[in-house]
C-alpha cells in the first residue's frame, strides 16, 4: 500500500468547536490550580492529658505536648521568713541553690519565653485562676520570666490571723477546677494551653492538686479553659497563625463557563463576601 507523500493540511475546526475546546482547556487548567489552592488550614486539635497529682515536695514537671521538653513546673514553696508560710508557684526553671529549691534563674534554656496568664490584684501580680469556659488567647496578659505566684499564705503570729493572698487560695476558701493559662513554644512557635488545679485550704495550710492539662496543636490559636477534645472557634490574638480560609470546590457549572465563571466562584468564596 502506497503512502501518500503529499503534505498534510491541518483540519479546520468550526468556530463553535474551537470555542468549546478553549473552554474545556481553561476549565482543566483552573481545576488543576484550584486543587492546590483549596488546601485548607490544618484542623485544630486539643491534646488533653488527665492527671491526679498532689503538688508536694519537689517541683512537678509539666510537658504539655509530650515532646520530652518540660514546659514549666508547679511548685509548693515554703517561705523562709521569721513567721514562715507557703506559696503555690508556676516556675520555668526551678533550681537548688545549695540551701533550698527556688524559682529564680538567670539561665532558663529553651523555655525562657514561655509565659503564664496573670492578673493584678491589690497592687500585686498573680497567676490568673481562669474559670471554665473562658478563652485563653493571644492579647491576654501573659508574664514571661522566672515564675508566677498563684497564691500564698503567711503564717500568723500569736496575735494575727493567716494572711492569704492570690486568686488560687481565694482568701482562705480555696478553689475547685480553675485553669492556669500557659503560652509555650513548639519548634519556635507559640501555642496556648492550660493546667487545671484544685486548691483546698485547712487552717493555715493549703494543698494543690493537678487534675489535667491540655494544649492547642495549631500555633497561635486560642484554647477554651476546660476543653479536652474537638475543635473550637477561639480567635487568635497577636500571636495567631495566618491561615487561609477553607474554600468549597468549584462547581462544574463554574468550570464549564471558563474564566468568567471561575472569577464569579472566587468572589462568592471570598471571606469579604460571606453572609
Q: What is the pLDDT of residues 109-127, one digit of tens each?
A: 666 789 999 998 777 889 9
Q: Is the pLDDT of residue 25 over 60?
A: no
Task: Tell me which residue has cell 508547679.
Answer: 74
**CA-closest candidate to residue 190, choices 42, 59, 64:** 64
Verify that 190 and 74 share a domain, yes or no.
yes
Q: At what angle do helices 259-269 and 15-37 cross, to 10 degrees?
A: 30
DSSP for 211-256?
EEEEEESSTT--EETT--SS---PPP-TTPPP-PPP-PPPPHHHHH
Regarding whether 248 and 130 lie in a shared domain, the answer is no
Phi, psi torsion values for 145, nearest 5 degrees: 135, -150
Quote the number of domains for the chain.
2
Domain identity same for 255 and 127 = no
Domain assignment present for residue 20? The answer is no
pLDDT of residue 47: 96
Instruction: Residue 259: give the domain boundaries.
Output: 244-270
Query: Mean per-residue pLDDT for 243-266?
Result: 38
Q: In angstroms, rounded to a whole number, what is the distance separating the alpha carbons of residues 132 and 129?
A: 10
Indicate whether 123 and 249 sit together in one domain. Answer: no
pLDDT of residue 7: 52
Structure pTM? 0.67
Query: Residues 137-178: pLDDT tens digits?
Result: 987 788 777 788 898 888 766 557 788 888 999 988 999 999
Amino acid at each position: 500500500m502506497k503512502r501518500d507523500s503529499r503534505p498534510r493540511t491541518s483540519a479546520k475546526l468550526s468556530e463553535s468547536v474551537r470555542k468549546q475546546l478553549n473552554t474545556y482547556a481553561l476549565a482543566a487548567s483552573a481545576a488543576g490550580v484550584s486543587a492546590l489552592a483549596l488546601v485548607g488550614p490544618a484542623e485544630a486539635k486539643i491534646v488533653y492529658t488527665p492527671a491526679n497529682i498532689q503538688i508536694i515536695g519537689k517541683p512537678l514537671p509539666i510537658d504539655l505536648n509530650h515532646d520530652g521538653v518540660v514546659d514549666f513546673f508547679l511548685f509548693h514553696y515554703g517561705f523562709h521568713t521569721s513567721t514562715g508560710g507557703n506559696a503555690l508557684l508556676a516556675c520555668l526553671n526551678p533550681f537548688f541553690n545549695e540551701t533550698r529549691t527556688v524559682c529564680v534563674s538567670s539561665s532558663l534554656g529553651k523555655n525562657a519565653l514561655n509565659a503564664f496568664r496573670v492578673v493584678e490584684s491589690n497592687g500585686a501580680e498573680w497567676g490568673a485562676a481562669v474559670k471554665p469556659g473562658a478563652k485563653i488567647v493571644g492579647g491576654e496578659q501573659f508574664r514571661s520570666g522566672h515564675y508566677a505566684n498563684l497564691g500564698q499564705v503567711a503564717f500568723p503570729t500569736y496575735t494575727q490571723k493567716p494572711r492569704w493572698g492570690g486568686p488560687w487560695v481565694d482568701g482562705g476558701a480555696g478553689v475547685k477546677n480553675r485553669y492556669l493559662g500557659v503560652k509555650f513554644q513548639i519548634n519556635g512557635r507559640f501555642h496556648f494551653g492550660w493546667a487545671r488545679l484544685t486548691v483546698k485550704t485547712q487552717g493555715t495550710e493549703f494543698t494543690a492538686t493537678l487534675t489535667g492539662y491540655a494544649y492547642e496543636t495549631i500555633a497561635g490559636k486560642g484554647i477554651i479553659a476546660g476543653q479536652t477534645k474537638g475543635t473550637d472557634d477561639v480567635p487568635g490574638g497577636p500571636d495567631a497563625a495566618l491561615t487561609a480560609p477553607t474554600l468549597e470546590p468549584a462547581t462544574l457549572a463554574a468550570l464549564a463557563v471558563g474564566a468568567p465563571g471561575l472569577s464569579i466562584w472566587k468572589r462568592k468564596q471570598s471571606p469579604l463576601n460571606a453572609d
